[in-house]
């Protein structure tokens, strides 16, 4: 099937080359980082995780979001989604690829990364995160490939695949739960020390993942002969609507607990993010933008008129994706480190090289996504013809 | 032959655990200094000090100003090859001082004893009995040594993920954001320098304890710091704990710090 990914129009190859150029430039910057150390990033002794880990966290959510098309189809036999499950699974593969790359570029000694396997440490959540992320990647590759191949041959996928498909459903929940556990089990980090963190992560994931998928479906309909289908897009839109409402609700639960209890160690982080702390407030504008975008998304997606109109739906999905990205990709990690456990305020902002490497990882993810989607759509066009 | 070479390998690996350069190199340096100095070892030697859990008591009543703390900070950073960076973001420190409100941020009173409010508190790794950093490390590069409770670092195994830094509620850990070697004023050949990309912190001078010496900061503290076995009822630290009211940093987190402060 891979041959389908290397046939295409000039525009298709133009896009591939553009991605390769970005990846190449980012690789050059990464070599500088390897040479100099992580000092070329904006991270510091106080804010020891930055943009890379934040992107990783957000993208685990996008990957887990794929389960929102898999579950209705395989578990509830919602036939309409049969057409697009492969897109959800392939999106998950691309997202997990980016997650693993972000962890890699964040390591101070990347050549020692296999120490995690050489000295397995079950008491470390990072050990489990390695297992669930790689497991999810493996599951989606096996499932996606076999289901697509069966579709191409117009047969049923092999029966041995069924248990793996069922396993992939709780596994998707697992990847984002374990990722939340990286943070919420740490004493002395009041911002993350909350049982609602994993549910919050999941709800924002189930909004951001399917929202991106809707945008991709609309794009695919425009540029290929394959139509993911109006019903499919509308069903996804309802999922996004529920999920983004839950995400904002969970956030407000957190806000209530923090500000009604008035415990300073928990309040300070939210204060830093939304009103600034001791005169420092780099993220204040961003956080309010995020809230505004998510609210706008709720209005556009809950209201049936704007949800059913595909233009306003696209806008709604875009603002939800952007809003959840700011929330997790900017605020969630820095917010936990400011103020520091000693109550010093050291602010963090990514540097240019850091942003360059980040763009490169995103380009690598989009390259994987493009090739996989090209293959899937090629099969769909072939079968239809 | 096989047996000897394996034993030799294990010895070498043991030495590597704390990051000493290979024995021949040390031997060469020893020879350079006349060959009389003991080669540092990880395992306590015949004169090594032993304890169930090493602990420290800091008598803040004896501290008048930051000047009183300078010798201990300098002694520590000098023998452990801690670099000096001008960029605060890349700072590496094993022991330093903080105001009360930063050392004990959750126990600040609105109005408090003027001396306490301004006196500099020495802070360092607490060598917790229940260390969250050890729980978080995915490679056991940081571990609690069962023999004496020191929370140690294996600079050669650390992958630089910095999970331990997020887990430590005391900000005790530093990361080598860049190669530290050009920023070490005077390299102590008896202790390893670090490379970029690994985490480091106070080790309660395990290398000195192994040859029967007290930690460098304690030696240089002019009686401000007292070091001893927490579970030996006759130890110096236990005597102080019996006679004085002490506090520990963030006791409510359940980490069981081994550094006590007389206030």
CATH number for the domain including B169? 3.30.70.20
For residue A270, being part of any structural domain is answered with: no
Among B19, B110, B165, B177, the strongest candidate for a mutation testing the A interface, having the largest count of A CBs within 10 A, is B177
Helix (H) or strand (E) run with residue A22 in it: helix A10-36
Q: Closest Cα to residue A31, out of A339, A285, A353? A: A353
Question: Smallest Cα–Cα separation from B236: which of B57, B68, B95?
Answer: B57
Confidence of residue A382 (pLDDT cuts 50, 70, 90): confident
Q: Is the pLDDT of residue B19 over 70?
A: no
B194-207 in b/e form (b: 16+ CB < 10 A) is: bbbbbbbbbbbbbb
Residue numbers of A between 206 and 235 with CB closer than 8 Å to B: none
Interchain contact A119–B (C-beta under 8 A): yes
Q: Among B98, B170, B179, select the one facing A37 at the smallest CB separation.
A: B179
pTM, two decimal places: 0.91
What angle, 0 to 180 degrees and rounded to 10, lies between the N-to-C axes of helices B23-32 and B2-18? 70
Residue B217 in domain? yes
- Examine the pLDDT at A8 and tell me if it is beyond 90: no
In the prediction, which pLDDT does A237 show?
A: 97
B248 lies within 8 A of chain A by CB: no
Distance from chain centroid for Cα B203: 3
Which domain covers residue B143, as residue numbers? 48-262
Overall average pLDDT of the A72-97 stretch: 93
The domain total for chain A is 1
Residue B41 falls within a domain, yes or no?
no
Q: Given this model, what pLDDT does residue B200 score?
A: 97
Lowest mean pLDDT among A69-83, A108-122, B50-64: A69-83
CB A350 within 8 A of CB A333: no
A187: nearest CB among B101, B139, B255: B255
CATH classification of the domain holding A361 = 1.20.1630
**A173 domain residue, yes or no:** yes
The total of structural domains in chain B comes to 1
Please give the residue range of the domain that contains residue A179: 2-245+351-384
Determine, yes or no, domain membership for B138. yes
A33 belongs to a structural domain: yes
Mean pLDDT of all residues in chain A? 95
Report whether pLDDT(B227) > 70: yes
**In the predicted structure, residue A35 carries a pLDDT above the cut 80:** yes
pLDDT tens digit string along B111-170? 999 999 999 999 999 999 999 999 999 999 999 999 999 999 999 999 999 999 999 999
Q: Domain for residue A88, yes or no?
A: yes
pLDDT of residue B41: 56
Least confident stretch, A77-86, A312-321, B29-38, B127-136: B29-38
Q: How confident is the model at residue B27 (pLDDT cuts 50, 70, 90)?
A: very low
Separation CA B15–CA A100 (nearest Å):
33
Average pLDDT, chain B: 88
């Amino acid at each position: 099937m891979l041959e389908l990914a290397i046939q295409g129009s000039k525009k298709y190859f133009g896009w591939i080359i553009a991605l390769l150029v970005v990846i190449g430039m980012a690789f050059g910057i990464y070599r500088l980082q390897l040479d100099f150390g992580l000092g070329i990033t904006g991270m510091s002794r106080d804010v020891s995780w930055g943009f890379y880990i934040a992107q990783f966290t957000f993208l685990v959510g996008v990957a887990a979001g794929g389960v929102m098309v898999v579950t209705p189809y395989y578990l509830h036999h919602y036939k309409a989604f049969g057409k697009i499950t492969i897109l959800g699974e392939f999106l998950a593969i691309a997202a997990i690829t980016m997650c693993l790359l972000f962890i890699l570029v964040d390591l101070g000694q990347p050549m020692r990364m296999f120490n995690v396997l050489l000295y397995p440490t079950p008491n470390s959540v990072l050990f489990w995160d390695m297992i669930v992320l790689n497991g999810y990647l493996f599951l989606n590759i096996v499932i996606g490939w076999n289901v697509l191949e069966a579709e191409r041959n117009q047969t049923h996928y092999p029966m041995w695949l069924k248990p793996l498909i069922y396993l992939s459903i709780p596994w998707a929940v697992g990847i984002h739960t374990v990722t939340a556990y990286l943070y919420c089990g740490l004493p002395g980090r009041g911002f993350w020390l909350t049982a609602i963190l994993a549910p919050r992560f999941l709800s924002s994931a189930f909004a951001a993942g399917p929202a991106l998928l809707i945008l991709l479906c609309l794009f695919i309909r425009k540029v290929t002969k394959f139509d993911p289908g109006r019903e499919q897009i509308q069903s996804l839109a309802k999922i996004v609507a529920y999920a983004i409402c839950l995400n904002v609700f969970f956030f407000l639960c957190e806000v209530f607990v923090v500000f009604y209890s008035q415990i300073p160690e928990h309040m300070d982080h939210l204060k830093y993010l939304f009103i600034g702390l001791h005169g420092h407030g780099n993220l204040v504008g961003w956080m309010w933008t995020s809230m505004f975008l998510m609210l706008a998304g709720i209005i556009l997606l809950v209201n049936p008129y704007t949800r059913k109109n595909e233009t306003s739906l696209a806008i709604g999905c875009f603002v939800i994706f952007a809003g959840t990205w700011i929330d997790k990709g900017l605020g969630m990690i820095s917010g936990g480190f400011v103020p520091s456990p000693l109550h010093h305020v050291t602010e963090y902002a990514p540097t240019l090289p850091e942003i360059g490497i980040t763009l490169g990882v995103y380009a690598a993810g989009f390259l994987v996504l493009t090739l996989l989607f090209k293959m899937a759509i090629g099969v769909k066009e072939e079968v239809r013809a | 032959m096989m047996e000897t070479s394996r034993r030799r390998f294990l010895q070498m690996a043991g030495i590597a655990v704390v990051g000493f350069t290979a024995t021949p190199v040390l031997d060469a340096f020893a020879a350079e200094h006349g060959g009389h100095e003991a080669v540092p070892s990880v395992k306590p030697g015949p004169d090594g000090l032993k304890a169930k859990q090493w602990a420290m008591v800091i008598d803040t009543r004896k501290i008048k100003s930051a000047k009183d703390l300078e010798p201990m900070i300098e002694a520590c950073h000098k023998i452990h090859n801690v670099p000096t960076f001008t960029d605060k973001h890349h700072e590496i420190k094993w022991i330093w001082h903080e105001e009360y409100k930063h050392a004990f941020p959750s126990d600040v009173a609105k109005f408090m004893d003027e001396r306490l409010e301004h006196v500099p508190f020495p802070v360092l790794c607490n060598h917790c009995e229940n260390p969250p950093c050890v729980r978080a490390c995915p490679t056991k590069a940081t571990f609690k040594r069962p023999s004496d409770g020191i929370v140690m670092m294996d600079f050669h195994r650390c992958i630089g993920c910095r999970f331990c830094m997020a887990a430590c509620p005391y900000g005790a850990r530093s990361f080598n954001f860049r190669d530290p070697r050009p920023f070490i004023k005077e390299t102590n050949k008896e202790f390893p320098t670090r490379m970029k990309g690994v985490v480091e912190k106070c080790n309660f001078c395990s290398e000195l304890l192994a040859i029967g010496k007290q930690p460098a900061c304690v030696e240089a503290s002019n009686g401000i710091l007292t070091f001893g076995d927490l579970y030996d009822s006759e130890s110096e630290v236990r005597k102080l704990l019996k006679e004085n009211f002490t506090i520990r940093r963030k006791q409510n987190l359940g980490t069981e710090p081994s550094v006590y402060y007389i206030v």
